[in-house]
Amino acid sequence: MFEYIKKIINPAKNDSVPFEKLNTMDDPNQIYTYDELGGIGFSSVLSENIANVKKVVWNYSDLVIRNIALGRKESKVAAVIYIDNLIDSHHIDNDIVRPLVLDAYSSGLTSSTEIINELKRGNLITRGQTQLCNNMKEFMEGLLIGGACLLIDGTQEVFTISAKGYVSRGIEESKIEPVMKGPREAFVETLSVNLGLIRKRIQSPNLAIEQIKIGTQTNTKVCIAYLKGVCPPERIYEVRTRLNRIKIDGIIESEYLEEFIQDNPFTLFPQLRNTERPDVVAASLLEGRVAIITDNTPVVLIAPEVKLL
């Protein structure tokens, strides 16, 4: 009985992989910064490029590598790489793969060289936001926001094609700022939708929106919006400077930014305003304030609330 208990508590070591050896298998402890990824280019050999991709994302269980053949004459192997949970399979099948393997032939493109040349001209692919990647940093940025990356054997050009398909919440009424009269729309967790709600209310060429990325791990998109000619330049500079000097692993929602950029976190008077309403943001921009919009959160920061930052 005691021998059986000992076996459960202390299992045989030869049945498992030692922890030290496990840490060196497939280099799981290798950490890549975006600066390091920017120094990794692509070769003209597809197998080498795929090997480099796998080295960076070796433990992505939802990574899909789909091989296709381009051209019936001088055929070349290509790979469509994407993360399954971030894309819409309809876009992959009908807007990327179908044009390359079927529509190209019906258009008279029989060789892989002709197909690649048409891709460089911006033809064949029916999806918008198609761009070239020059290094692994641009590749990963496109991959992690719902893009499909097209790698072709024999060429160093890598194409990133928008194929976003993740679930997002629809526009609803604000729960924390209800109104009796006025617009009922509230911000959501998708940055592009929130920017559209602001632009819908301020249809001016002077509405400026600058984008930066904060967080060494999350790489979160943060936008600052202001009206040129209305907002004081020193206010824009101050907000931009305070955001750029934030060094943190990740930004999950806008409250993280609030803690970093406000002057005195212990004061009773609010220095930044939090809002979920696009009309409030639009009115604040018209008053010369700056809006800070963070991806993945419906709460927008307005600066300043009481005094100039």
> Over the stretch 191-249, which tens digit does the pLDDT of each residue have?
989 999 999 999 898 999 999 999 988 889 999 999 999 999 999 999 999 999 999 99
- Answer for the pair 261, 275: CB distance below 8 angstroms, yes or no: no
What is the average pLDDT value for the chain, to the nearest integer? 82
3-state secondary structure of 290: strand
CB atoms < 10 A from the CB of 32, how many? 14
Structure confidence at residue 23 (pLDDT): 35
pLDDT in tens, 84-119: 888 888 888 888 888 888 888 777 787 888 888 888
Q: Map out the domains of the chain as residue ranges.
A: 33-162, 191-303
Q: Is the pLDDT of residue 14 over 70?
A: no
- In angstroms, what CA-CA distances link 219 with 162, 191, 287? 18, 14, 31
What percentage of residues in the chain have a pLDDT greater than 90? 38
The whole-number pLDDT of residue 106 equals: 75
Q: How far apart are CA 262 and CA 269, in angstroms?
A: 11
Does position 290 have pLDDT exceeding 50, yes or no?
A: yes
Say yes or no to pLDDT of 306 above 80.
no
pLDDT, mean of residues 263-277: 78
| Structure-token match 């793969």, residue found | 97
What pLDDT does 265 receive?
66
What confidence tens digit (pLDDT) does each residue in 26-83 have? Answer: 455 577 787 888 888 999 999 999 999 988 887 777 889 999 988 888 888 999 999 8
Question: Rounded distance, CA 23 to CA 82, Å?
Answer: 26
Q: In the chain, pLDDT over 70 holds for what percent of residues?
A: 86
Per the DSSP assignment, residues forming a β-bridge with 180 are: none
pLDDT at 25: 37
The string of DSSP letters for 79-130 reads EEEEEGGGB-HHIIIIIIIHIIIIIHHHTT--BHHHHHHHHHTT-S--SS-E
Q: DSSP labels for 244-288?
A: HT---S---SHHHHHHHH-S-TT-SS-SSEEE--HHHHHHHHHTT
* Better-predicted residue by pLDDT, 26 or 182: 182
pLDDT for 8: 38
d(CA 82, CA 143): 6
Question: Can you tell me the distance from the alpha carbon of 84 to that of 92, in angstroms, rounded to the nearest whole number?
Answer: 10
Mean predicted confidence (pLDDT) in 258-272: 76
What's the confidence (pLDDT) of residue 132?
87
